[in-house]
Amino acid sequence: MDGLHLYGEQFDGRLLLGTAGYPTLDILHQSVQAAKPAMITVALRRQGAMDAAHGEGLWALLRQWQIPLLPNTAGCLSVQEAVTTAQMAREVFETDWIKLELIGDDATLQPDVFQLCEAAEILIRDGFKVLPYCTEDLIACRRLLDAGCQALMPWAAPIGTGLGVVHEYALKVLRERLPDVPLLIDAGLGLPSHAAAVMEWGYDGVLLNSAVSRSGNPVLMAQAFAQATAAGRTAFAAEPMVPSSQTRASTPTVGQPFWHSEDY
């Protein structure tokens, strides 16, 4: 179907995939091949903390895949920390794309939407293409748009929980109220059916990591999520029927004997 458009650029898919937590680099590589993601996310901090052999292996894979990179500011707790990490990531990965994470609570890893707006405004002035990890709060999302963000990444549930959509109403309202803004679900999805559902609502893409890397078979799960994401988008484009409380027969009546017969 149609591609994903972000900051004036087009991507050949609607699934974004993280690189953390896979059992081996080979499984990561096979998972990426199965998912065929539009972008690959990588954390500068995690990359720096890897042992030399593993780190070199990941660098080799990133070069081999030739898939657009989306560095993130995972683990940052302040505006200055997030901005500095983003600037370092731009130098290391040679890209202006950044997934802006700025955490406000250690237990839930919920984004600090107040600092997030401030950091986004700074980075956008500095030429970054910012994809902010945010909540489903409509007003906070509007503030991020006012700061200059052209796309948003609201969560479905806290990072790594796999709960799926916790606040369905809020996410549907967000999609309805921001019809022209690219919205990608980031965090909390656990099953391919979760991805299919949000895509059917009209969301523009999903970002996954734990749901794939922590599964029993990451390669197979990556394939399943890719199929579910594509199916959900296709269903949205097909304009699903409107639910109704009234029954409506689907069997054709032409040719049925005695239909509306006066004798019965």
Rounded to an integer, what distance in angstroms lies between the CA atom of residue 242 and that of residue 11? Answer: 30
Rounded to an integer, what distance in angstroms lies between the CA atom of residue 179 and that of residue 140? Answer: 16
Burial of 169 (0-12, 13-18, 19+ CB in 10 A): exposed
Is 188 marked as a binding-site residue? Answer: yes
Pick from 227, 233, 225: nearest CA to 200: 233
Residue 148 zone, left/alpha/beta (φ > 0; ψ -120 to 50; rest): left
Is 13 marked as a binding-site residue? Answer: no
Return the H-helix or E-strand segment holding 79. helix 79-93
Catalytic residue among 36, 99, 129, 172: 99
Query: Is 99 a catalytic site residue?
Result: yes
Q: Where are the beta strands (DSSP E) in 91-134?
A: 97-100, 129-134
Pick from 208, 191, 203: nearest CA to 236: 203
Q: Running DSSP on this structure, what letter comes out for residue 182?
A: -
Q: What is the DSSP string of 159-179?
A: TT-----S-HHHHHHHHHH-T
Within 13 Å, how many C-alpha atoms sit on residue 106's CB side? 0
Rounded to an integer, what distance in angstroms lies between the CA atom of residue 111 and that of residue 228? Answer: 27
Residue carrying the six token digits 């689907």:
250
Q: Which residues are catalytic?
A: 99
Residues annotated within the binding site are: 160, 187-188, 209-210
Residues annotated within the binding site for 1-deoxy-D-xylulose 5-phosphate are: 160, 187-188, 209-210
